Every structure is written in C-alpha cells, then in structure tokens.
Amino acid sequence: MEITVNDITSVDKEIVISAQREDLEPKFKEAYKKYRGQINMPGFRPGKVPLKIVQKRFGDEIEQEEISKYVQEIFEEEVVPEHDPIGESEMLDLIWENDELEAKFKIGARPDFELEDLSEVTVDRMVHDVTDEEVEEEINRQLEQQGNWEEVEEEITETSRVTVDAVPLEDGEPDEENAAEEVIDLNREESEQFRDELVGHAIGDKVEVEIGHDDHTHDFLLLVKKVEKLHKAELTDAFAKEQSDGEAKNTDEYRSLVKSRIQNYYDQSADDLFKNDVIDELVDKHDLEVPDVFLSQVKNQFVQRVQQESGGDLPADFDEESYKENIHDRALRDAKWFFLNEKLQEKFDDIEIKPEDIDEHLEMQAAQYGVTIDQMRNLFAQNPQQLESLRNSIREEKVFDKLKGEVAINEIDKETYQEKHDEKVNA
C-alpha cells in the first residue's frame, strides 16, 4: 500500500491511496469465510457452500464492499492523523482494475499565515446616547398603539386610517372581479405611497393611485368607504404600570425605563455592528487561501439554514446551484473568519470558559424559550454537539472582547456611521 500527496494549491491536496491485491487479500479471505457461513444454496448444507462457488457467485459484491472499507480505514488511520484535513474531504475516484486499487481524495489544509499587527487595524464603532426626544417619540408610539379608532365623517388627514375598495385598473378600465377591501393606516411608513393621493378626500370619493416602483407599477382605483380618527391613550401612572408589567410605578419611572431599554438596544446594536465590522476589516487585512472542500462545507451550511427556515424541506423552486453562486462572497468571508478566529484564539491563549459563562448563556436561552434553567441544562447535557457549539460561541465572544483592546476604535455618531455604511454598500 502506498499513499501519495499531490499539492493542488497551498491549501488543497490530492491524496492517492494505491494498493495491490496482496494488500487486500487477508480482508477478502475473512469476508468470504463470513459470508460463506451466511449463504444458503440448494444442494449444500447451510454454511458449507464451497468457497470457489461463493467467489464465483458473490465475489464482485463482497470484494467491492471490502475495498470500500479498506479505503475508509486507510484514510481514517493514515491520512487523517498525518494531514489533519479541514472540512468535508471529497472522494474524487475509486478504481479497482487488474487487481490494482487507486482511490483519490481531495482534502483541505489549514492556511499557513501570520496575524497582521492588530494595532494597525481601525474599526468604526457607533456611539449613540439616547435623547429625551427619542424617549418621547417611543412613548407617543406606544400611546398610539394602545389608543382607539373612531369612525368620523371628516376629510382624510395624514394620521387617518382609511378603508377602501381597491379595484385594479387594466388599460384604464376597472377590474371589479379582482377588487379587494383594504385598510390603510396613513401613520405607517409603508402607507407613504398612498398618503398624498388620499389626504383631503372623504367617504365616497374615488382616487386613482399608482403602486409599485420603477417598472413594476400597477394602477388602482380606490373607493373610500370609511375614515377613522385615532384617539391616543393617555400617559398615566396606571398606563406606565401596565406597559412595564409593574416595573415602573409612575410616569417618571416609565420614562427612565423606556430610555434604558432604547439605550440597551443601541448598545447591543453597536456591539453587533462592531463585530461585523471587525470581521470585515480583519478579512480584508489578511490574504489567505481557503480550501475548496471547506468553502463547499460553508455553502452547504447556508443551504441547510434555508431548509430549516422552510420547515425541513427546501422550497420547490429553490435553485441550489444559483443560490450557492449568489452567496459565494459571503461564504468565503465566513470561511476566512473561521481561520482568523482560530489564529486569534491562539494569540489570546488566556481565554477561559468558566461555568458561570455557560450559565449566563443558558439563562438567556431559558428566558427566550420560556423554560427553566434546569430544563435548558438537561437539554444541552443530552446534546454534546450543541454544548460544544455554545462553548465555541462563548469563546468567540471573548475574542471580540479582547479585540476591543487591540484594534484602533473610531467612535462615531449613528448618523455618520449610517452614511459610511451606505457608502460602503453602494461602492
């Protein structure tokens, strides 16, 4: 038996396992004895069929099965310990001719690279202190949500809720068969395309509107059937208690609570955006190759997520190959980050996952799914793979915490951050 390694790229290797019949003969003999004891044929006692007949009748199937087992054993016992493949190795070919075996695999190797000087990496970080105006806007939104609508005989305003019969227009003619009743809340952002056309009209009016964008537009005739006016709820101590589940006892405490929640939202968003931007910057800074088999594995994981989100089956019209082409850049970025994350964990070798770290995450997940912390612990205890995934997530969080002290952070307000983000997306 011989193993040959051919370099395809610096991270892609072709492994060729070559063997002769004499290498496999002991396995063939054992297999023939085993199957001989299981085969029943007319004219022979059970288990006493001559080996030559067994070889003649079932030889090809038995030997092919043993060849597959042999190749797998050699790969796992010789190739894996020696080359430590990364990703899902791919069998390229398996040939058995003239008592000679040749099996070809494509495997991936970890890219060999050094981390760049992290102090030379600059990352934007959004910083936003919530204003009293934002707090009042949020409270006003809640008062509107908890308010009630009154039907009125008045003209439509920018804050009205309007019930209409929406009739499609085909070449200017109403398509009554496909008319549908619609309720349009002009307060909402998605109703902006109706606002200018409807404001000032009243019950019984007919209004032509064009809906859509660019070349995907449709004409409708809207027959106004009902106009409603919003009466907002009143901000009282009772409202504050109810909306906060008793956490706030009066309106002043409620304002403080709302401000704290909005600030937590922005702080969490800033953390999430920072992590994403750090990954982008580090990936751009490091020129490293990704093994083909590993990139394929990452793409397959994206497909599996689509499958899970679709309830277990891929959508009937899902084009897997096109999808993989479309996510190529994103998958490549994620694959590069995997190796960068590994290298960073080597650098930050003092990272330690403590029991309280795991408990903190389990408590958050228990609250999210409405179960007890003990139930969540039992769930993870029964699924070691899920527990290891959790540990990896915690370890990655700690890497980001370390990076905050290593890279240069450029703190900017949310408006400037959004402008720079938009420019980056449109570049």
Q: Which long-range contacts (CB under 8 A, 24 or more apart) does 3-8 make?
A: 3/74, 3/78, 3/79, 5/83, 8/106
CA–CA separation, 262 vs 268, rounded Å? Answer: 10
What is the model's pLDDT at position 57?
80
Per-residue model confidence as pLDDT tens for the chain (427 residues): 999 999 999 999 999 999 999 999 999 888 888 877 777 776 676 666 777 777 778 888 888 999 999 999 999 999 999 999 998 899 999 999 999 999 999 999 999 999 999 999 999 999 999 999 999 999 999 999 999 999 999 999 999 999 999 999 988 899 998 999 999 999 888 888 889 999 999 999 999 998 876 667 889 999 999 999 999 999 999 999 999 999 999 999 999 999 999 999 999 999 999 999 999 999 999 999 999 999 999 999 999 999 988 888 888 889 999 999 999 999 999 999 999 999 999 999 999 999 899 988 888 888 888 888 888 888 888 888 888 889 999 999 999 999 999 999 999 999 999 999 888 888 7
The sign one gets for the Cα dihedral 206, 212, 213, 217 is: negative
Phi/psi of residue 290, each to 5°? -115, 130
What is the model's pLDDT at position 171?
84
The answer to whether 387 and 381 are in contact (CB under 8 A) is yes
What is the model's pLDDT at position 16?
97
CA–CA separation, 191 vs 199, rounded Å? Answer: 12
What is the model's pLDDT at position 284?
95
Which are the contacts of 253, defined by CB distance < 8 A and separation ≥ 6? 240, 244, 247
In 10 A of CB 60, how many CB atoms? 11
pLDDT, tens only, 274-320: 999 999 999 999 999 999 999 999 999 999 999 988 888 888 889 99
Q: Give the Cα-Cα-Cα angle 419, 420, 424 (nearest 5 degrees).
A: 120
> What is the pTM for the complete model shown?
0.80
Residue 49 DSSP SS3 = coil
CA–CA separation, 364 vs 376, rounded Å? Answer: 10
What is the model's pLDDT at position 132?
96
The answer to whether 27 and 70 are in contact (CB under 8 A) is yes
What is the model's pLDDT at position 365?
86
In this structure, the strands spanning 173-174 and 90-97 are: unpaired
> For the chain, what's the residue count?
427
